[in-house]
Structure 1
Amino acid sequence: MKSIAVLGLGKVGALAAQLLVDSDFTVIGVDSMADPAKFSHDVRAIDVKDADALAEIFDGVDAVLSCLPYHLNIGVSNVAHAAGIHYFDLTEDVPTTNHIRNLAVTSQGLMAPQCGLAPGFVGIVGANLIAQFDECRSCRMRVGALPQNPTGLMGYAFNWSPEGVVNEYLNDCEVIEDGERKWVSAMEWREQIYIEGLQLEAFTTSGGLGTMCETYLGKVANLDYKTMRYPGHFDLMNFFFHELLMRENREEAGRILVHAKPPVDQDIVYVHVAAEGLIDGKMSRKEFVNGYKPLMIAGESRTAIAWTTAGSVVSVIELVREGQLPSKGFLKQEDIPLPALLSTRTGSFYNRKD
């Protein structure tokens, strides 16, 4: 794998493309709105919903990374499958992932959705902790992408795709509870979490576990994923979506929220993963807790949500190129070794303390 097309050159896609260039890949960026003069690689302006135009680009590359809104990924994955190339994306959408998984049965290349932060990096961390136990009774995964300096009652800024956030807040969530695989509503099971004395609240959101419930059913008694926010956010978003009925118009909900709480440059991504169980007959607890801030990468300051998301998928792509991951079929995030990911050129960013 030497060449890759990156679809969507927003903050995450543009950074992923640059990281791939820095890791010696030949990159073709695809974005109808991008200014080619701002990039160090080839950029094409095409309609990503045009299957023929995509097929022409895919004919000249070994892989594609989609950094597009989740609802476009089914079409992209179909074209990638037909072209016989590797496919990677960042989606948290469960139906999209199920579609890609079905394609993987007959794929010539690797089909690897859910390679971002959550699902993605957090699942790799969770699997690493679970593997340390002789018997694991619970694994709780929490991620919060937040402004460092929150304002207002909501305490939030939309540094991530509004479509993705609204989707996560409204779609049902898969969990394992007391050994039973089940679906629960989003924005439930609220709890308090403290990270270095900072109080946060966490609640269920969809898609963060990827395929982990299937993998760990019968092996881990309790498994769930929640999003972390500053206190007060939960009640306001429940009011917005359910009492004001904005759940009935997701596109308009996303527009209103981004207009009210635009992106910020100074953000922070908290990752809190904790597992409990038996090691050598004794009850133990293992934790992975970090707060990631913006980094200088390729001469520019990159937001925490951008580099933690782009860094995860590019690290996975590096591992596939190096032969440390399969080159065909469907890739589960929990099958990716955390030490191997952190040892890649891009994965080493997770160890930086800038």
Structure 2
Amino acid sequence: MRNVLVLGAGLVAKPLVRYLLDQPGYHVTVASRTVGKAQMVIGGRPNGQALPFDIARDGRALGTLVSGADLTVSLLPYIYHVQVAEQCIRHRCHLVTTSYVKDAMRALDEQAKEAGVILLNEIGLDPGIDHMSAMRIIHHIHDADGQVVSFRSYCGGLPAPEANTNPFGYKFSWSPRGVVLAGRNDACYLEDGQVVEVPNRRLFATRHTIHVEGVGDLDAYPNRDSLPYIQTYGIPETGTMYRGTLRYPGWCETWQKFVELGLLDLTERNDLEGLTFRQLMARLIRKPETDDLERDLAAHLGIAPDSDVMMRFAWLGLLGDEPLPPERTILDVLAAQMQKKLQYEEGERDMIVLLHDFVAVYRQGLGARPRKEHIVSTMIAFGVPGGDTSMARTVGLPAASACRLILEGQIRLTGVHIPVLPEIYEPVLDELARMGIEMEERVERLEG
């Protein structure tokens, strides 16, 4: 019997847990702060067990849980992953997460190797499928004596076109607070050999438009720091390295105004209780609450009172007399209101768009001109109406596949890893393709 411990039963847990429960000889324990969610994810399966567990309140129980597992999957917030990893090392238990590797996790590499376990991170969608699908193409280019001279990668979780029914062009398929927090990030990328640094206050102002076949035009803006991926992906030759986030048009221009207004402020405050949204807006622009608030707000933001941005503010309820939700920061007020308004209706589908854009140059022999190719690799994946979201499938199933491959000895690596090695990404991508999750590639010859 192979014993798997899954910590957390949130939005992406169900496809992962169901996959593991379907494997012969597997027992899966789902430990969650809300045991009812864990029970729902297990769905009454005899080889599953639901347990109540709150790592913030009962960290000492973590070791007991991990000690009974061969592999642990942490779907907890990333701040707990190192704590989980330390217990996994102590009890010689493998670990899988879908989160970005932080320095504290990276520092456990030697200890994990000594314990003979792998701490595999970034094995979801973004990060995850993006790494694996990019590395497959990069290794193919290098194996053909080519060089990657430009690489751009974009990913976004969006409503399917028929479910795109609100002015923001967005509905939540993962943590609303996580979406809003991501708007506070700085960004950095390489463009034609020049490093471009983007402070948070300009993040959404740097948007550009890309066209995705079958979807249409989308807004793209930079996602965190792209520069480390030059080394991670093994492409020191590239002059362009850009990782971006995709949204429907209109998102970026509105979020730029959120930033300018201070709606992403994480300062804890005790003066929010009893306020309405309209009163909060008046305070943020330091104006009295009057009938002219819309005009004053538009003037403060440098936009027309009848602009699309002002329409979105009004639709979200930011100009109304509804009381603020009971939160301590303005960012959490915004996240709570967006969670309330930007929900999927029953039967609506979400959509994942992942796109890689490469320019590769191949040597052709003595005296011959190099051959240049433009490679576009795209995945468009839809959720199942009334079933799993595409976000849950594309985050949960890569991690689930990796769990099986580790437990069955097909991935034998130890230490801290992300899925950029063929030993990891080849079998995972092959299995995802069998489940209908795969990239489609288009190659065109470039002149010059």
Q: Larger Cα Rg: Structure 1 or Structure 2?
A: 2
What residue in structure 2 maps to residue 233 of structure 1? 251
Whether the 8 Å CA contact 1:266–1:294 is kept in 2: the answer is yes
1:1-354 aligned within 5 A: 2-24=2-24, 25-35=26-36, 37-38=39-40, 39=42, 40=45, 41-49=48-56, 50-92=58-100, 97-107=102-112, 108=115, 109-133=117-141, 134-148=146-160, 149-178=163-192, 184-185=198-199, 186-187=203-204, 189-196=206-213, 198-206=216-224, 212-215=229-232, 216=234, 218-248=236-266, 249=329, 250-264=331-345, 265-280=348-363, 281-295=370-384, 301-336=387-422, 338-344=425-431, 348-351=434-437
Q: TM-score, normalised by structure 2?
A: 0.70
Query: Larger strand proportion, structure 1 or 2?
Result: 1
Are the structure 2 counterparts of residues 210 and 14 from structure 1 closer, same or farther at C-alpha, using a change threshold of 3 Å?
farther
Q: TM-score, normalised by structure 1?
A: 0.88
Q: Shift of the alpha carbon at 1:210?
A: 10
Gaps of 5+ in 2: 267-328, 364-369, 440-448
What residue in structure 1 maps to residue 314 of structure 2? none
Classify the secondary structure of the residue corresponding to 1:327. coil
Partner deviation per Cα, 1:148-187 (whole Å, 9 max, x = no partner): 1212321101111123323332223353444577754443
Are the structure 2 counterparts of residues 220 and 279 from structure 1 closer, same or farther at C-alpha, using a change threshold of 3 Å?
same
Aligned Cα root-mean-square deviation (Å): 2.7
Amino acid at match of 1:213: I
Partner deviation per Cα, 1:280-325 (whole Å, 9 max, x = no partner): 42010112112101248xxx72111110110111122233234343
Amino acid at match of 2:110: V
Counterparts of 1:244 and 1:64 in 2: how far apart (Å)?
39
Q: Shift of the alpha carbon at 1:192?
A: 1.1
Are the structure 2 counterparts of residues 210 and 54 from structure 1 closer, same or farther at C-alpha, using a change threshold of 3 Å?
farther
Question: In percent, how many aligned pairs have the same letter?
Answer: 21
Are the structure 2 counterparts of residues 112 and 235 from structure 1 closer, same or farther at C-alpha, using a change threshold of 3 Å?
same
Counterparts of 2:227 and 2:19 in 1: how far apart (Å)?
24
Number of aligned residue pairs: give it.
345
Classify the secondary structure of the residue corresponding to 1:167. helix
Counterparts of 2:188 and 2:105 in 1: how far apart (Å)?
18
Are the structure 2 counterparts of residues 166 and 103 from structure 1 closer, same or farther at C-alpha, using a change threshold of 3 Å?
farther
Whether the 8 Å CA contact 1:181–1:213 is kept in 2: the answer is no
